[in-house]
Each structure stands twice: as C-alpha cells, then as structure tokens.
C-alpha cells in the first residue's frame, strides 16, 4: 500500500510539473503590442521584470522536480503514505480545475474596453505569480482554457461568453500577486497604456471561491 501511495504521489507531482511547464510558457503579447509606447526607462524596468519572472519560474520548476525525486524515493524506501499521496492528488485536481477551490487571493476588476488577448495575458501573469486557481466572472479557467473574441466586445472563455465589466479572481499568495500585477512596469501599467479609458482595480481578498471547470456537453 505504501509503495502504491508513493507511486501515486510521484505521478501526481510529475503531471503537475508537466502542466506547469506548458501553461507557464504560453506566450504573452501585451508587451509586444505597446513597446512603441515605452520610454527607455520603462523598457529597462520591463526587461528587469521579465528577468525576475523567468528566474521565479526556473525556481518553481526546480522545486517541483525535487518533489518528484522525493516522491520516487518514498516509493523505493516504502515510506510514502496514503495521506501524502492524497494531498498531492488534491493539489493536482485544483490546478487542473476539476474541483472547486477557496482561499485568500486577489480580485482584478476591469471596467471598460478589454479583449481576449489581454485576458490571456492577465491569466498568464497571475499564473506566473503563483495563482493556484483562477476564474473570470463565474467561469473557471483551466490549464487548457482558451480565449477568443466574443460578440459585442465580450470575451469567449472555452466557448462561453463572459461580458464586462469583468472580475478576475485568483487564489494564492495575495501579497505576491498584488505586487506582480500593480508594480511599476507591471502588467496593469501596460494595460493602462493600451486601454487608457479602462479602469483597473486590484484588491486583496481574505476569501475567494472559484468553481470547478464546467463539464462539457
């Protein structure tokens, strides 16, 4: 039983790592769309921020690889427990969006013009900042979710129409995510350059609830 539990843990963490690599390296084009608006000083800040995010991502991948090794070692030693395996599976289910989630985090309210590419950029930025679960209005964002233009300036999320004003909720370390979004040269500032008439409000929340991803019909 312990060996099987350890095997489950190793598989869960390995799957988590695989999903992380795929989702975290999805391209962001918000910066390429407004580089012509940047000053030399802001470009320097932007490059520094990108370097910080890349370093953070490498650290996170390294930590997850260590967890994979530890889980495999528990299989070899027979020390893996069912509780540990279940914990890893629960984390994977939340990350894969197949179960609901609740906890502290941030809410980003977007009131005005916005589009599907920008929503994708914001989602990826929140993931890079450590978001464990994300929703747009009341629709859960999964690791394979996609955005597309919707009718009447709406956004399609996995084919479902979500209308503005939008509230993007993200569960995770609220301080870290808040700084990542609002810091000088961060994505909020980039959005404000692209959408000067749109209002962005970022707040820390003690408790956020996001649903599981909707079952496909």
pTM for the whole structure = 0.65
What pLDDT does 172 receive?
92
Q: Contact at 8 Å (CB) between 126 and 105?
A: no
Longest dimension (CA), the chain: 61
In which band, very low, low, confident or very high, does the pLDDT at 114 lie, cut at 50, 70 and 90? very high
- For residue 190, is pLDDT > 60? yes
Percent of the chain with pLDDT over 70: 53
Least confident range from 21-30, 80-89, 203-212: namely 21-30
Count of CA atoms in the C-beta half-sphere (13 A) of 130: 15
pLDDT at 180: 92
Q: Give the span between the Cα atoms of 212 and 191, in whole angstroms.
A: 28
Please check whether residue 158 is in contact with residue 217, taking contact to mean a CB–CB distance below 8 angstroms. Answer: no
Q: Is the pLDDT of residue 135 over 90?
A: yes
Confidence of residue 22 (pLDDT cuts 50, 70, 90): very low
Local confidence band at 2 (pLDDT 50, 70, 90 cut-offs): very low
Tens of pLDDT along 79-90? 555 556 566 666
Q: What's the confidence (pLDDT) of residue 212?
A: 86
pLDDT of residue 121 exceeding 60: yes
| Class of the CATH domain delimited by 101-210 | alpha beta
Instruction: Give the pLDDT mean for 125-149.
Output: 91
Phi first, then psi: what are they for 172, rounded to 5°?
160, -160
Q: Other CB atoms closer than 10 Å to residue 170's CB: what's the count?
A: 29
Q: For 22-49, give one letter per residue: b (16+ CB within 10 A) or e.
A: ebeeeebebbeeeeeebeeebeebbeeb
170, 97, 95: which is closest to 134 by C-alpha?
A: 170
Task: pLDDT band for 177, please (50, 70, 90 cuts).
Answer: very high
Cβ-proximal residues to 167 (8 Å cutoff; 6+ apart), any chain:
107, 108, 109, 110, 136, 137
> Are the C-beta atoms of residues 197 and 113 closer than 8 Å to each other?
yes
Domain chopping of the chain, boundaries: 2-95, 101-210
Give the SS3 label for residue 76. Answer: helix
Pairing of strands 199-210, 139-141: unpaired
């Amino acid at each position: 039983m312990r060996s099987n539990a350890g095997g489950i843990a190793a598989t869960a963490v390995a799957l988590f790592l695989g999903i992380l690599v795929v989702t975290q390296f999805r391209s962001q084009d918000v910066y390429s769309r407004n580089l012509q608006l940047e000053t030399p000083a802001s470009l320097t800040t932007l490059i520094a921020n990108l370097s910080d995010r890349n370093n953070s991502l490498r650290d996170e991948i390294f930590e997850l690889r260590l967890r994979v090794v530890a889980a495999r070692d528990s299989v070899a030693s027979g020390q893996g427990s069912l509780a540990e395996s279940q914990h890893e599976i629960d984390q994977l289910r939340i990350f894969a969006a197949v179960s609901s989630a609740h906890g502290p985090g941030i809410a980003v309210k977007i009131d005005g013009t916005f589009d599907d590419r920008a929503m994708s950029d914001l989602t990826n930025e929140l993931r890079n900042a450590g978001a464990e679960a994300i929703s747009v209005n009341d629709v859960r964002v999964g690791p394979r979710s996609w955005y597309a233009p919707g009718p009447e300036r709406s956004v399609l999320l996995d084919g479902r129409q979500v209308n503005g004003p939008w509230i993007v909720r993200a569960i995770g370390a609220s301080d870290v995510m808040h700084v990542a979004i609002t810091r000088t040269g961060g994505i909020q500032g980039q959005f404000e350059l692209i959408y000067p008439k749109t209002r962005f409000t970022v707040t820390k929340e003690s408790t956020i609830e996001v649903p599981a991803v909707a079952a496909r019909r």
